[in-house]
Amino acid sequence: MPIEIWLIFILCVMIIASIAALEIKDILSSIIAIGVVGLGVSLSFLFLQAPDLAVVQFLFEIFALIILVRAFVKKEYHQHEESKTNLLISIVTIIVLGLLFLLSLPVFQNLPAFGKPLMTVSEYYLFHGALQTGAANLVAAIILDYRAYDTLGEVTVLFTAVIGALSILKIRSKEKNRETSNE
């Protein structure tokens, strides 16, 4: 079976799951539907022969699922307020999205054929990467040798995010402890 059919099938499942995640009233079922979307992304990476991305996407999906369940299931987020959607706004949104799609159609037609990105840069890495870096995994060769500076930036982003989260949460728990000790 050609790979495009599998990809279209996975994309349909992801679209249905994201609609379900929006529409389901129960918060736990909604979180699980979000997990189905992430699993679809991971599977499509696997079908496109990118196991590195598939592994990382799958693991982060589990991680995000645990945090979401831990954070939201206990709380009283279960009640939904029925919001009235404005008819005019939805019509305008549909028209704008349709126009965007029609305008971007020529771009999609000019793209290279599926699975054939004949770029000089990637060809250079494919032919010279293993010899120049000595790494059998070309993805590792690119992210840690050719583009190691970008990886340093990513690590810095992670570091900053963790420091920010830790400092905010620590300040809040300290304040709360002070309040309880005063009582």
How many C-beta atoms lie closer than 10 Å to residue 39's C-beta?
A: 19
Measured distance CA(8)–CA(6) in Å, rounded: 5
Nearest-approach distance from CB 173 to other proteins, in angstroms: 6
Measured distance CA(175)–CA(48) in Å, rounded: 50
- Binding interface with other proteins (CB under 8 A): 51-52, 54-56, 59-60, 62-63, 66-67, 70-71, 74-75, 130, 133-137, 139-141, 143-145, 148-149, 151-152, 155-156, 158-159, 161-162, 165-166, 169-170, 172-173, 176
- Please enumerate in sequence order all residues whose Cβ is within 8 A of that of 11, keeping only pairs 6 or more positions apart, or say none: 40, 44
Between 97 and 165, name the residue whose CB sits nearer to other proteins. Answer: 165
Nearest-approach distance from CB 78 to other proteins, in angstroms: 14
Between 24 and 144, name the residue whose CB sits nearer to other proteins. Answer: 144
Question: Strand ranges (DSSP E) for the chain?
Answer: none
Between 106 and 134, name the residue whose CB sits nearer to other proteins. Answer: 134
- Please enumerate in sequence order all residues whose Cβ is within 8 A of that of 81, keeping only pairs 6 or more positions apart, or say none: none
Q: Is 46 exposed, middle or buried (0-12, 13-18, 19+ CB in 10 A)?
A: middle
Nearest-approach distance from CB 116 to other proteins, in angstroms: 22
Between 63 and 124, name the residue whose CB sits nearer to other proteins. Answer: 63
Nearest-approach distance from CB 136 to other proteins, in angstroms: 5
Tokens 């028209």, residue located: 95
Between 92 and 158, name the residue whose CB sits nearer to other proteins. Answer: 158
Nearest-approach distance from CB 145 to other proteins, in angstroms: 6
Asked if 35 and 65 count as a contact pair (C-beta separation under 8 A), the reply is yes
